[in-house]
Structure 1
Amino acid sequence: MNRPSVHELECFVAVAEALSFSKAAAKLNLSQPALSRQIQGLESKLTARLLERNTRSVSLTHAGRLYLDDAKQLLTQLDRATEVIRRVGAGEPQRLRLAFVGALLDDGLVRLLQKFRTGRPDCQIHMVDMAPAEQLTALVGGEIDGAFIGAAPAKVSRQIETLVWKREPLQVVLPEQHALANGASLKLAQLKAESWVMVSAKAAPGFREHVSVLCRQAKFQPKVVQESDRVAAVLTMVAAGQGISVLPESLSRWLGVGVVFKNMHESKAMLTHAFAFRRGDPGAELQEFARMLAAQEG
């Protein structure tokens, strides 16, 4: 197979990002004719035109836009594989950089991490608390290796893969003195006239999207009067009587007074916890960790 070279990929990415042959040539320390030859060679191998260029501008074709993500991903994977081997050769310990949502940290996740460490004592785990949206950005940028993002958004970067590792019920959160606080369980439709306090869509897009779908199925759109990036603030606002909310069952332990958690009748009122990682990541530690997660889904 007449495969593109790494140099050709680097040249294409540089031009595609700068949309300028002169700027890309300067960045790569190449002459413009040499850079043009690399692009022409790549297009010849792919039998597709990636760039439209004239004397005044450069733009990506449809094929070029599709190929750009793959080319960047291939270069990132090569860089990471090279770095892994460099570190092994230098005798450095292995590590796994994982992000999580602090509000969703529970005994199950701690046990998973302990199980992995028992099997791989040579691999250090570095944990960082991040909002789901920040996790996805950090993944694409190579700042972390994997992320416990909670509910996965409907659309994520083509560079990211997700797997389900856990499911838990969603519950309605009410102020203690709310008129519905004494019932055994609730239907979402009973809440359409309520004021809602929610985790922001910016911080947790997948979770908000899922709650919106549930409400649409119940024939209403929630009247959201307050938002916060942090669950603790949402619970505090509910306890203060500013509105009701919907949150995962595991968060019922967070605040012992001021709020009441109630089950919902809706069978689809479940939070699907997703673990995200870069597609095709060559790291053996990450692959092993992902396999362990997939094996214990529940």
Structure 2
Amino acid sequence: MNTFQLTCFLTVAETLSFAKAAKLLNVTQPAVTHQIHSLEEELNAQLFKRTTRCVEITQEGLIFLNDAKNVLSIITLAKKRFEEPVVDERQFFSIGCHSHNEMYLLPDILREMAQSYKTLHPIFQVVPFQHLYRLLEEEAVDVVLAFREKGQKKGSSIYRELAQVPVVGVLPANHPLAEKELLDEEDLRTQRLLLLDPQRCPDRLNALQHCLATERAVSDLLMCGSADASITLAKAGFGIAVQPDFPSLRDPALAYIPIKDVEPLSYGAYYKSVTGKPSLKAFLQLCKEYFSFMD
């Protein structure tokens, strides 16, 4: 089945004349007849009743009429689209992060950025740590938002610190420990701990979790696949979540208590270069202002 067969069929159906159809299509009558015969053989159906005096469309022909129109319309539209290709003016900007939770930090930044870049099209890549840095090296992402790892270089990338983020214990606001200014090791040993999957947390936080988990019963530990899961379980009273604290992401039903003698984590942006990348430069500036305001 091809477009010429469909065109011949629709033209004959409209004129009820092979001769008139041939004239409209600027081809010979035998050519039209051949196309209709070929179509009927393919469909295994008679589309027209032909006599010496007239041409009538059959019931099968009427059923096929709408299908033929729809198919021909789709094909014609597809051809036209490629005859006049539309230029994709979207300005893609790819942001890598380690958890979906971190995306909640970005709406205000992206909203303001979109005012200057009308065709901005943000894309998020949420994958484990090392995979993200590989994407950055391959320039498959424009920027990676992450905690800085001490003594570890990420290829040829540049790191810009955006904030110092304290590590806190998260627990219900009505919890007996919620009134404390600091949580010490003894406080934490009296509670079940909600820890993050080592593949989804920075090395320094992972080291702290390992220390806190030492000599603890398995039943006293609950490993969570994401920060959201950890917060949900803390809110439900399953234990104390140990994780970095971003004030803008806090839940008013929870208390966020710093952990004694634990240094804050450096959180920032990894990128290759801002040369020739005005959108990346603008993003970094907005991040600096936003995270400064958060503090």
Q: Distance in 2 between matches of 1:137 and 1:226?
A: 30
Match of 2:229 in 1: 233
The match for 1:264 is: 258
What's the TM-score, normalizing by structure 2? 0.53
Q: Which amino acid aligns with 2:250?
A: S
Match of 2:272 among 270, 278, 292: 278
Q: Does 1:152 find its partner at 2:148?
A: yes
Shift of 1:91: 7.0
The whole-number CA distance in structure 2 between the counterparts of 1:249 and 1:123 is 26
Name the residue aligned to 1:53: none
Larger radius of gyration: 2
Give the Cα–Cα distance (whole angstroms) in 2 for the partners of residues 164 and 91 of structure 1: 34
2: CA distance, partners of 1:222 / 1:115: 49
Asked whether 1:289 is paired with 2:244, we answer no
Amino acid at match of 2:255: F
Query: Is the contact between residue 198 and residue 228 of structure 1 (CA under 8 Å) also seen in structure 2?
Result: yes
Deviation at 1:132, TM superposition (A): 4.4
Q: From 239, 245, 250, give the equivalent of 1:243.
A: 239
Question: Helix, strand or coil: the match of 1:138?
Answer: helix
Distance 1:222 1:186, change over 3 A: farther
SS in 1 for 2:189: coil
Distance (Å, rounded) in 2 between the aligned partners of 1:210 and 1:294: 28
1:176-215 matches, within 5 Å, as 178-181=175-178, 183-194=179-190, 195-206=192-203, 208-209=205-206, 211=208
1:241 and 1:122 mapped to 2: Cα distance?
A: 45
Aligned to 1:127: 124
Contact 1:162-1:275 at 8 Å conserved across structures: yes
d(CA) in 2 for partners of 1:129, 1:111: 19
2: CA distance between counterparts of 1:131 and 1:269? 23
- TM-score w.r.t. length of structure 1: 0.53
Where structure 2 has 5 or more consecutive residues not aligned to the other structure, the ranges are 1-86
Which whole-Å deviations, capped at 9, do the CAs of 1:64-113 have from their partners, x for residues lacking one? xxxxxxxxxxxxxxxxxxxxxxxxxx77443211134321334x522211
Change (3 A) 1:134 1:115: same
Cα distance, 1:230 vs. partner? 0.9
Change in Cα spacing, 1:185 to 1:267, as seen in structure 2 (3 Å) is same
Question: In the alignment, does 2:91 pair up with 1:99?
Answer: no
Count matched residues. Answer: 198
Q: Distance in 1 between matches of 2:278 and 2:153?
A: 23
* Other structure's SS at 1:186 match: coil
Q: Which amino acid aligns with 1:228?
A: C
Write the deviation string for residues 114-146 of structure 1: whole angstroms up to 9, x where unpaired: 222212224432234445454333323432211
TM-align CA RMSD: 3.7
Match of 2:106 in 1: 109
Q: What is the CA–CA distance in structure 2 between the aligned matches of 1:176 and 1:285, rounded to whole Å? A: 41
Task: Give the % identical residues.
Answer: 14
User: Cα 1:165–1:103, aligned 2, differ >3 Å: closer, same or farther?
Assistant: same
CA drift of 1:226 comes to: 2.4
Describe the SS at the equivalent of 2:193: strand
